[in-house]
Chains A and B, each alone.
Chain A
Amino acid sequence: MPEMKLLGIPASDGIAIGPIFCYIPADLTIPVCPPGTVEAEMDRFEAARGQARTELQGLYESVHIRAGAEEAAIFEAHQVMLVDPTLEAKVREGVELGWTAEQALAKAIEELAAMLAGMGDELFAARSLDVKDVGRRLLRILLGLPDTALDAVTEPSIIVAEDLTPSDTARLDPQLTLGFITEQGGLTSHSAILARTLGLPAIVGMGDGLLEKVSSERSTVMDGRTGELIVSPKDETIARYKEVKQQRESHLKILRDAAEKDAHTANGRRVEVAANIGEVETARTAMENGAEGVGLLRTEFLYLEDTVPPNEEKQYAAYRAILEVMGQRPVIFRTLDIGGDKPPTYLPFPQEMNPFLGWRAIRISLAEPELFQTQLRAILRAALGHRGLIMFPMISDLDELRRAREVVERVKADLTRDSIPFAADVPVGIMVETPAAAVLVDVLAEASDFFSLGTNDLTQYTMAVDRGNSKVAGLFQPLHPSVLRLIKQTIDAAHSCSKWVGMCGELAGMPKAIPILLGLGLDEFSMSARAIPEAKHLIGALTDARAQQIAREVMSMSTAAEIERYMMEVLAKI
C-alpha cells in the first residue's frame, strides 16, 4: 500500500509511531439460525457466563490497581448481575420456547432493563445501563466475538475511535497508549483535554470513515502538532519523524530548564504562570512543569465519581492534599461547575433542550444551599495556613454574585460560632465566561476581588457555537476579534478598578495567543501543566513594548484567520 497522508484537527502536541488499535464497539446483530436442544443452549449460556466472569474479574483487578477500589466497584456489581437467578430463569424460559441462547438473552435483558428504566427514581433507573452492559458482554461472548474494548489493547498503540467518552478514557492504560485519534470531536472535547493533561499526542475531528481506512495498519506515524496521520509510511518517512521526535524532546528539555524559574517579560515585569488542575496527581504534574500556582482547580472530579455528593470531610482531605503539594503558592478553587451535559446521579436534573444555557455551575450552587455550603466550608477550612482563593463559575449578574458572597459570609459565621478554625482572608473572585460578565466587569468589580477569563465558554457563548460539534467546530475561534475585544474590555475595566485579571481557558497556554494577551496586560496565565515550559520561554523572550505593539496590531484586524496568519509570522521571528 502506498504512503497516504490524512489530516485532522491538531489537538495535542507530540509524535507517535506505532500500530493502530481500532476501538469499535462490537456489532451484536443476532444471526438467524436453528437452536440446539434446550440443554445445549443453556450450556452455551452457562459457558458464556463463565467467560464473562473471568473478563469482569480481570477488569476489576486492573482498574483496582490503576484507579482504586471506588472506580473498580462497578465491575464487581456487574459480576453480581451476571449470576442473577431472574436473568437465568428468563433465559431458560426463552430457550424452552425454542429460541437460541442469544435470542433468549436479548429478550431477557430488554425486559429487565426496561423494568429498571421505568422506575421513577433516576438513580435506580440508571442501573438499567448496567444490565444492558452485562447483556452486551454475554451476547458478544455467545456470538464468539473478541473483547474489542480498550482494555484489550495489549501493545503500545495509537488508539483510533469514532469518539471517546469519559468512561472510555478512564479505562485507557497510559503505558499502552501512544496517542489517540478520533473521527468526531473538537479541540476542547474531553479526549483532547485529557491528551494534553497526559502529554499524549492527539488528533480530533478526522471525519467519518477513518476507522475503515486505517483498521489493519501495523505501522503509522501521527503528528499532534500538525494534525497529520501518515498511513503505511515509507522507511525514510519513519526515520525522518524519529529524528523530529528526538529534536522536539531535547527542545522540551531546554524548556523544562526555563520552567524552573519564575516568569518575567524580557524587560523584567513579573507575570504569573499557573496550572489548571483536577486531582492531586495533576497538582504534582503541575509542580514538575514549573507552575507558580493553580489558576483553576476543577472541583468536579469529587462530584462525578459517586452516587452521593462528597461530604465535607472527603472534600477537606482532597483539597488539603492539593494545597500541601502546592505549598505557599496560590490555589484558585472554582466552585462546582457541572450541568445537564454531565449530570451527577444525585441531582434532580430537568430535561433540558440546551444544557449549556440551562441549570449549571453557580446557578445550581445557589439553588442547592446545602451542597454549596458544604463545599465552601471544606475550602475555607482547608485553606488555613495556605493561599486559597475562591472563584465562582458562570456569573452573569451582580445579584447572583452578591448572593454567592452572602453564602460565603454565612459559612464563615457558622465556622466562627462552632469554633472551627478556617482561613478568614480568602479572596473571592469570578470567572468571566459569559459575554454578560465581560461587559459588566466594572459593575461586578464591586463584589469581586479578581477576575479569571474562561475562554472556552466565553468563545462558545460569544460565537454561539457548540465546541463538541464537528460540523460547527470550525467557528469555535478563541482568537476571533469579537472574543479578543471582550478580553481587552475585561482587562481594561478590571485594571481601572485596581483588580487583577487571569485567564484559565485553553487560550492562555497557546503560543499564538500569549504575545497578544501579554500586550493586553493579562496578569496571570493558567494552562495545562504541559504548556507551562513553552509559555514561560515565550514570555521571557518578549518585552512589554513589543507585546503591546503586537496587541495593537491584532486589535485592528477583522477576522480570526487574519490574526492567526499574523501570529504565525510573529512566532516565526521570536
Chain B
Amino acid sequence: MPELRITITHKVGLHARPASLFVQTANKFPCSVKVKNLTADGQFVDAKSIIMVLTLGVMKDHEILIEADGADADSAITALKTLIEGNFGEA
C-alpha cells in the first residue's frame, strides 16, 4: 500500500484553497485515500472529505501521512505529492 510522509509548507496549511485542491485531487482517483496529521498526532480521516480534512487542523510546517489503497493508488500519491511540492500552484 503506497504512502507518503510530507510537510505542508503553504502559509495557510490545509485550509481554504489548498484544502479544496487537496480534496479535489484525491477525488480524481477510484482508490481510497486516507490522511492523518502526524504533528498533531491525530486519527486517519477520509482524504476525499473536505470537512474531515479540515478537522485535522493542518497548519504550515505540519507533517502529514497519506495512504492510498486500491486502483490507481500509486498515481493518487504521486498527484498529491506534486500538488503539495508545487505549493498548490502558487509561486
A86, A116, A120, A131: the one contacting B46 at CB < 8 Å is A86
| Contact partner, B49, options A85, A116, A120, A127, Cβ 8 Å | A85
Contacts of A121 in B (CB 8 A): 57, 59
The digit string for B15-26, where 1 denotes a CB below 8 A from any CB of A, is 111001001100
Contacts of B49 in A (CB 8 A): 84-87
Which one of B12, B17, B46, B49 has the highest number of Cβ atoms from chain A below 10 Å of its Cβ?
B49
Docked pose: A121 CA to B49 CA in angstroms:
19
A85 to B24, CA, bound (A): 12
Query: Is A76 positioned at the interface, with any CB of B under 8 Å from its CB?
Result: yes
Contacts of B4 in A (CB 8 A): none
Which of B12, B15, B27, B50 is within 8 Å of A81, CB to CB? B50
Inter-chain CA distance A124–B14, complex, in Å, is: 10
| B33-50 near A? 1/0 per residue, CB < 8 Å | 000000000000010111
Residue of chain A at shortest CB distance from B54: A127
Asked if B11 is an interface residue, CB under 8 A from chain A, the answer is yes
**Does the CB pair B51–A84 fall under 8 Å?**
yes
Chain A 51-85 interface 0/1 with B at a Cβ cutoff of 8 Å (1 = within) = 00000000000000000000001001100110111
A510 on interface, CB distance cutoff 8 Å: no
- Contact A115 B51, CB 8 Å, known A120-B57, A308-B11: yes
Asked whether A124 and B15 contact (CB < 8 A) given A86-B52, A115-B55, the answer is: yes
Which residues of B sit under 8 angstroms from A81, Cβ to Cβ? 50-51
State whether B15 touches A80 (Cβ < 8 A): no
Complex CA gap A59/B27 in Å reads 23
User: Bound state CA distance, A310 and B52, in angstroms?
Assistant: 28
B16 near A307 with CB under 8 A, answer yes
Enumerate chain B residues within 8 angstroms of A131, measured Cβ to Cβ. 51
Closest to B49 in A: A86
Is A123 an interface position by the 8 A CB rule?
Answer: yes
| Residues in A80-117 with C-beta less than 8 Å from chain B | 80-81, 83-87, 112, 115-116
**Cβ of A561 < 8 Å from any Cβ of B?**
no
Q: Which residues of B contact A83 (CB under 8 A)?
A: 27
* Minimum C-beta distance from B58 to chain A (A): 9
A116 touches B23 (CB 8 A): no
**Which residues of chain B are near A239, meaning CB under 8 Å?**
none
Q: Which residue of B lies closest to A113 (CB)?
A: B51
| A4 in the interface (beta carbon within 8 A) | no
The answer to whether A80 and B54 touch (CB under 8 A), given A86-B49, A307-B15, is no
Q: Is B16's CB under 8 angstroms from A124's CB?
A: no
User: CB of A571 within 8 A of chain B?
Assistant: no
Contact (Cβ within 8 A) A124 B57: yes
Give A79 Cβ to nearest chain B Cβ, in Å.
Answer: 9
Bound CA–CA A120/B56 (angstroms): 11
Q: In the complex, A87→B12 CA distance in Å?
A: 24
Please list the 3 inter-chain residue pairs (A to B) with the smallest Cβ-Cβ separation, ordered nearest first. A86-B49, A80-B20, A80-B50
| 12 A-B pairs in the complex with CB atoms less than 8 angstroms apart | A73-B17, A77-B16, A77-B20, A80-B20, A83-B27, A84-B51, A85-B49, A87-B51, A115-B55, A116-B55, A119-B57, A123-B15
